[in-house]
A and B are shown apart, each in its own frame.
Chain A
Amino acid sequence: MIRTLLLTTLLASPALADEIWVTNEMDDTLSVIDVDTLAVTATYPIGERPRGVTFSKDFKYLYVCASDSNAVQVIDPDTGTVLHDLPSGDDPEQFVLAPDDRLLYIANENDAVTTVVDTQTRKVVAQIDVGVEPEGMGISPDGKVQVTTSETTNMAHWIDTQTHKIIANSLVDSRPRHAEFSPDGSELWVSSEIGGTVAVFDAATQVEKGKISFAIKGVRAEKIQPVGMLFSPDATKVFVALGPANHIAVVDAKTLTVERYILVGRRVWHMAFSPDQTRLFTTNGVSGDVTVIDVASLEPVATIKVGRFPWGAAARQTP
């Protein structure tokens, strides 16, 4: 009787609001933020040094790179429990889920390898030699090309997902951290943390078509270190997290000019949109919080305390 009651209570309280899930790199936890109330509703323990985080298309599974546990963990977002680990290769830092919702492309930072894992068979499909310290992971919307950037080799490696062979290598500025395809697949954007720039490539030819630099009044040039990037839902803007410059740059995706800088918390890493696309959530590593930006006005509207060194963020749409 009691058990039935408990079960009923549990079943009756699935998350109704949309959520943002954040990995706390130094706490080995996940923080769950309610998008409506902007409160942290749950904190779940997870493997060591969690960084990259993404949901399956149906939001039934959450994948997390637990770097120091040498695993990608699969989590049930309804309960926050770890369902199983995927073989990920050594020190997975960041990954990207293919549009087929099945293959995960994982950067193995210590091994100079990109590992391809089938999330259904839980087997490694391929491993591709890339440059030293792979990190940034992008995939074209049609799933045909995966790009791995290597931080110490300073390259974007273009990988054919059919053959799992490198088809091109593009040199970029120092310490590339993130690769992002435009939603139409025509462009690839790569951020260089130490170079302080973002390079824009024509995806079909792998030719660099532009480079973006940043300047913020009162912030030293060497503190401007672009990391995470995200296209706006209408693809007209790109949001670029500038690390220890503590700002998000808003870049016009056509003209490649910076429209404005938004002040956020300290050492901003990555971002996620709320599922209704009205708010942008940024992970601020050093200040241990998340800044909420109103997408319409581009103004920061709230700060949410999470765990130590929040790194990745992913949005969960609830039915």
Chain B
Amino acid sequence: MKRMLAGVLAGGLAGATGAQAEMLRIDWLERQVVPPPVLSNMQAEPATLGLDGARLSLADIATTGKFTGQEYRLVETVVPPEADFLPAARAALADGARVLVVRAPAADLLALADLPEARGALIFNTDAPDEALRGTDCRANVLHTLPSYAMRTDALAQFIVTKRWTHLAMIEGTLPEDRAYAAALRASLTKFGLSLAAEKTWDFDANMRRAAAAEVPLFTQDLPEHDLLLVADEPGDFARYVAYNTWLPRPLAGSEGAKPVGWAGVVEQNGAAQLQNRFRDLAGREMSADDYAAWVAIAAIGEAATRTKATDAATLRGYLLSDKARIGGFLGRPLGFRDWDGQLRQPIPIVTERAVVAQAPFEGFLHATNELDTLGPDRPETQCTAFGGAK
């Protein structure tokens, strides 16, 4: 269950600056969950989703460390669905974990962050998009590299405004993730001056793989005229069967169609092709938003360690939350962390299966300090107080 990946590559290179290499330990802590059942049998979640991104990133920063005289190692702890998460987290902390990259649902993440022994640790959330984790439930020792629902739906709303699509309808699933995403969508539409002409809830229990062509036209027939049909179906259950079967021929966006995501295999600009190639070589599959969240967390740790020449969590955290941090993330703009809620600020690509349609933030959505902060809760509207509150 626990494995170590030595980040130390062959030494002996001339020019390494540090006389004594200092080891920075990074922990990968994963709570495996059984995903909800979906209609399609064709998709299986890779067992090492996220972890592959972490492993690639560790190799990247270890190469840098070769020249700076810094060493990194990744300690992997993966907790299976039936086992308890907290004892494993405690064991890692007792073993010396201070910088943790975590793939776990919100409840587990919070339980970890609130452990007395996790005080002063630096925890990266790479898996939970929940708003509350960046708001009322934020924690000073938790930074987030996965974009929140709000960041993604703000990106989509900006896109819709840019396209001048004013008549909108939405279909929402019944799972908690669907509801959370739909709620974020509603809030984003309001934020950018848009509104929904109609909403429907998808609660079919028929097998849509066979019935979609018959059922979906009827289901969508009573929707008022719309330019774009939004779908909230985060686990990827039904929305794929809605496409091309609607009563009116309309494009989809949201969880299907044009999707706002943290990352996808189709992102290729700004040198991303290099990262994608390295990832494919390592993992044999496309890099997903979860892999990227893990990759960028460790890239940020490496950047902070390189710049500060430190390995302690407090110094790394301080650097990442400062405006000195300009992290290269292959998205065309320097990335940094918001000092009001610990969220990574990043552009949001809007993608289809085959291409990036556009990338938020869009031209014309202005911000006093950084256009990336037009995506997700900004400093004046944050509900988070653990970072010292709004300045």
**Cα separation A54 to B333 with both chains bound (whole Å):** 29
**Cα separation A132 to B332 with both chains bound (whole Å):** 18
> Known contacts A109-B274, A152-B64, A155-B67: does B303 contact A169 (CB below 8 Å)?
no
- Chain B 45-72 per-residue mask, 1 if CB under 8 angstroms from chain A, else 0: 0000000000000001001100110000
Would you call B60 and A174 a contact (CB within 8 A)?
no
Would you call B14 and A171 a contact (CB within 8 A)?
no
> Known contacts A131-B64, A133-B274: does B303 contact A174 (CB below 8 Å)?
yes
Point out the residues of chain B lying under 8 angstroms from A193, CB to CB. Answer: 328
Would you call B63 and A151 a contact (CB within 8 A)?
no
Would you call A194 and B326 a contact (CB within 8 A)?
yes
Would you call A171 and B306 a contact (CB within 8 A)?
yes
Would you call B15 and A168 a contact (CB within 8 A)?
yes
Number of B residues whose C-beta is below 8 Å from A?
26
Would you call B64 and A155 a contact (CB within 8 A)?
yes
Q: Per a CB cutoff under 8 Å, which of B14, B334, B371 touches A174?
A: B334
Would you call B370 and A151 a contact (CB within 8 A)?
no
Which chain A residue lies CB-closest to B278? Answer: A110
Would you call B271 and A151 a contact (CB within 8 A)?
yes
Which residue, of A91, A154, A158, has the highest number of chain B Cβ atoms within 10 A? A154
Q: Does A178 contact B (CB under 8 A)?
A: no
Point out the residues of chain B lying under 8 angstroms from A244, CB to CB. Answer: 332
Point out the residues of chain B lying under 8 angstroms from A196, CB to CB. Answer: 326, 334
Q: Does A142 contact B (CB under 8 A)?
A: no
- Chain B 342-362 per-residue mask, 1 if CB under 8 angstroms from chain A, else 0: 000000000000000000000
Closest-CB distance, A229 to chain B (whole angstroms): 18
Closest-CB distance, A76 to chain B (whole angstroms): 30
Q: Does B44 contact A (CB under 8 A)?
A: no
Would you call B274 and A131 a contact (CB within 8 A)?
no
Q: Per a CB cutoff under 8 Å, which of A109, A153, A166, A174 touches B13?
A: A166
**Cα separation A175 to B333 with both chains bound (whole Å):** 11
A interface bracket (residues with beta carbon within 8 Å of B) = 20 to 34
Point out the residues of chain A lying under 8 angstroms from B294, CB to CB. Answer: none
> Known contacts A132-B60, A174-B303, A174-B326: does B277 contact A169 (CB below 8 Å)?
no
Point out the residues of chain A lying under 8 angstroms from B306, CB to CB. Answer: 154, 171
Point out the residues of chain B lying under 8 angstroms from A254, CB to CB. Answer: none
Q: Per a CB cutoff under 8 Å, which of A131, A173, A174, A175 touches B63?
A: A131
Point out the residues of chain B lying under 8 angstroms from A158, CB to CB. Answer: 15
Would you call B326 and A195 a contact (CB within 8 A)?
yes
Q: Does B16 contact A (CB under 8 A)?
A: yes
Q: Does A112 contact B (CB under 8 A)?
A: yes
Closest-CB distance, B249 to chain A (whole angstroms): 31
Would you call B370 and A222 a contact (CB within 8 A)?
yes
**Cα separation A133 to B303 with both chains bound (whole Å):** 15
Closest-CB distance, A48 to chain B (whole angstroms): 12
Q: Does B327 contact A (CB under 8 A)?
A: yes
Q: Does B322 contact A (CB under 8 A)?
A: no
- Chain B 78-112 per-residue mask, 1 if CB under 8 angstroms from chain A, else 0: 00000000000000000000000000000000000
Would you call A222 and B333 a contact (CB within 8 A)?
yes
Point out the residues of chain B lying under 8 angstroms from A112, CB to CB. Answer: 63
Q: Which residues of B from 325 to 341 have beta carbons under 8 Å from A?
A: 326-328, 332-334
Q: Per a CB cutoff under 8 Å, which of A152, A157, A220 touches B371?
A: A220
Point out the residues of chain B lying under 8 angstroms from A129, CB to CB. Answer: 13
**Cα separation A165 to B16 with both chains bound (whole Å):** 12
Closest-CB distance, A287 to chain B (whole angstroms): 15
**Cα separation A131 to B306 with both chains bound (whole Å):** 13
Which residue, of B16, B63, B277, B278, has the highest number of chain A Cβ atoms within 10 A? B63
With A157-B67, A171-B68 already in contact, 6 other A-B pairs whose C-beta atoms are closer than 8 Å: A91-B274, A110-B278, A151-B271, A155-B64, A166-B14, A222-B333
7 pairs, A vs B, C-beta closer than 8 Å: A110-B274, A131-B67, A165-B14, A175-B271, A194-B326, A195-B326, A196-B334
